[in-house]
Amino acid sequence: MICFDLDGTLLDTKYSILAGFRDLYEEIWNECRPLNELEFVLGGDSLALLDSMGFPEGSIHGWLKYIDCYAHTIHPFDGILDTLSALSQKGLILGVATNKLRIEYEETMERHGLKRFMEHSICLDEVSHAKPDPEPLLYLAEQSEIPISQMLFIGDTSYDIDCARAAGCDFALAGWGASEALKKEYAVVLEKPDELLSVIQ
């Protein structure tokens, strides 16, 4: 089974997430912060993040509303659709482990034509502990009845790396979405999605 992270791996959502958070922050705290100061919000547990920063309860819905204002900036990374199609044609089972809420996942995956490729998925509001905890990957292994040792996880952040490591799952870094700093640190880096086809042969 090949499991993917969503944001920064399948879809380029970086601007929408950062701009949405900027707008929410300005609404709540009356301060506009530059996007380059907000990259700490990427990849993690959004509910826990908002709580830790003192945002009012339910602020996640405001963030989602603002993200939706930038939906026109979201798109699959180059080569993702063709790669997913090729993997499916090879008979491989595909899945997603994301820190998005289920409602976000369903809307976003459907809108961009990705949902049809995924047999399994697990979202933020369906686990007790989000990535980097191993629970999402362990859940997918149980759901699919595929041993975790036979799974490959593709992601773009340290949260994804730590999740795979804790679960005992093979991992490859999505170089097309990962930071340059992380690419220098991690040994197995895919620069383009179609490189995955040679990895699994």
Structural element, H or E, at residue 83: helix 80-89
- For the stretch 76-132, pLDDT in tens is 999 999 999 999 999 999 999 999 999 999 999 999 999 999 999 999 999 999 999
Mean pLDDT of the chain: 96
Q: pLDDT value at position 54? A: 97
- For the stretch 161-172, pLDDT in tens is 999 999 999 999
Q: Which amino acid is at 36?
A: N
Q: pLDDT value at position 75? A: 97
Count of CB atoms situated within 10 Å of the CB of 135: 19
Residue labelled with tokens 């919000």: 41
- For the stretch 48-81, pLDDT in tens is 999 999 999 999 999 999 999 999 999 999 999 9
Percent of the chain with pLDDT over 70: 100
Range of lowest pLDDT (47-51, 81-85, 134-138, 181-185):
181-185
pTM of the model: 0.94
Q: pLDDT value at position 201? A: 67
Domain 2-12+75-199 has CATH 3.30.1300.10: no
- Candidates 138, 46, 44, 42; CA nearest to 95 is 138
CB 6 within 8 A of CB 176: no
Q: pLDDT value at position 187? A: 76
| Distance from C-alpha of 75 to C-alpha of 95, rounded to nearest angstrom | 19
| Distance from C-alpha of 104 to C-alpha of 108, rounded to nearest angstrom | 6
Count of CB atoms situated within 10 Å of the CB of 30: 7
Pairing of strands 11-12, 75-76: antiparallel
